[in-house]
Amino acid sequence: MALRRPVLTRRPPAAQAPADGASPMLSRRLARYVPVPAAYAVFQSLLGVLPASLSGDAARYALAGTAGVATGLLVWLAVQLRRGRDEAAGPPPAADGAAGAGAAGPVIPGPARPGEPFPRLAAGAREAVLRARSVCDDPALGPLTGWPHFLEEGEAGHPPTAIGTAYGLHLALALGPDDGRFDQPALVETLWRLRLPDGGWAARTGTGVSRPEVTALVLGALSRAGAHRPRLDEAVEVLEGLLAPGADPEGEDRTYVIGAAIRGLLRAAPGSPLLPELRDRLTRGALRDPARDGLACWGYSLEGDAGPLRPDRPSPVHTAQAVLALARATAVLGPERRSRQAMEQGREWLVRHGEFAHQTEHLRRFAAGRPTDHTFVRHFTAGWVARALMAVPAPPEDPALRRAAEACLRSAVARVRVEQRGGVWEWGDDREHRPIWMTYQGISVLIAHAHRSYTTP
């Protein structure tokens, strides 16, 4: 069937443009450009007025240079003091309660500064996501409401995708459960309309064949939103079929795919008989890192240390994904000795490794008579590590590990926070790529960390 481009019928109302405070920006520019010219001006002035009889040229130059450096340092310190006062004052209050309740278009903040209130950041994320929502009419599927993969694509009117809309629904549940502008019923119905003929869902770059990791993501979002149970159960059966041995030869040996399947089934079908088997498969696929006392960790694949060609390399993001999936499975299914040991060792491996660089994974699937299915998956490593460490806290009887785990968690959360501007997360330094899934993961980490850090008065 030929794919026809949906016709855009309506765009959501535009919110106000982001607004940065002018005072902090002025302070940064003063700190950058003023001290050196001030120092040079004092140096030249003194050099011209000091008497030539002052112990020769060397003394005149030394005295003028010292005075110039001192002046530049004093100017720099004064600017830094002003900048500190500006930041301590905090952002200006937004009109009409910029927490976003009901008012049309609250002011969206600019880049986050240390100490910025989380409600301000969350309001920026909520308005940016609403601005990027796409509402269109598909000739074959009917009316669609949701998001494509990137926020900038939604702003340009691109049609919704299954992955983008699933993460948008997650964001609506996290940030705007009382905000009717998200129109959660329309998002749920759009996900059902984007279902493929074989009963599941796939990435837009796929070949039209349902994939377990995408189907699990969508079912998890639908389950959280309270989708109709019989309809959900029917789709769960499709997911279980996609996870049957041999159904997806390339995907069934990938840490990312199995971890996503576990998380999705735990939300949509916690009683699925596949869950213990998937947990065991994830546990058996762990590696042993000889550089870190043989601790369990994970790489791209689940071949473990007995890979037929070469051992897989440990990966922080895949270790974090596995640890998180095992932690959630333990909470629902109950503890199991081998998986618990692997999970705890994986947590320690993450703490000792301490790396948060983004990773990209290429997953190729082959099928006779069909084009190769290529999927490129971007992994927000700091977000995964933070969630894994919060899901599996270090035991109090090991104070050294507990201190190290807390330090690693603080570093991961700080890395998550600096990746965003105004509540929207950007992939690396490329501000033209703002994946909606990255904003969901970033917001989720900050919410979970805030809950974890809170203590009753």
For residue range 237-267, what is the model confidence (pLDDT) as tens digits? 999 999 999 999 999 999 999 999 999 999 9
Prediction pTM value: 0.75
Section 402-418 average pLDDT: 96
Q: Give me the amino acid identity at 235.
A: A
pLDDT band (50, 70, 90) for residue 29: low
Which residue would you say has higher pLDDT here, 76 or 154? 154
For residue range 103-157, what is the model confidence (pLDDT) as tens digits? 333 333 344 455 678 899 999 999 999 999 999 999 999 999 999 999 999 999 9
Residues 6+ apart with CB under 8 A from 405: 347, 351, 389, 393, 394
Partners of 99 in beta bridges: none
SS3 374: strand
Q: How far apart are the first and last CA of the chain?
A: 61
SS3 258: helix
pLDDT at residue 303 above 90? no
pLDDT at residue 312 above 80? no
Lowest-confidence region among 4-8, 272-276, 352-356? 4-8
Residue with tokens 């494509």: 148
| Two tokens, residue 170 | 């997650």
SS3 144: strand
| Two tokens, residue 147 | 């998001």
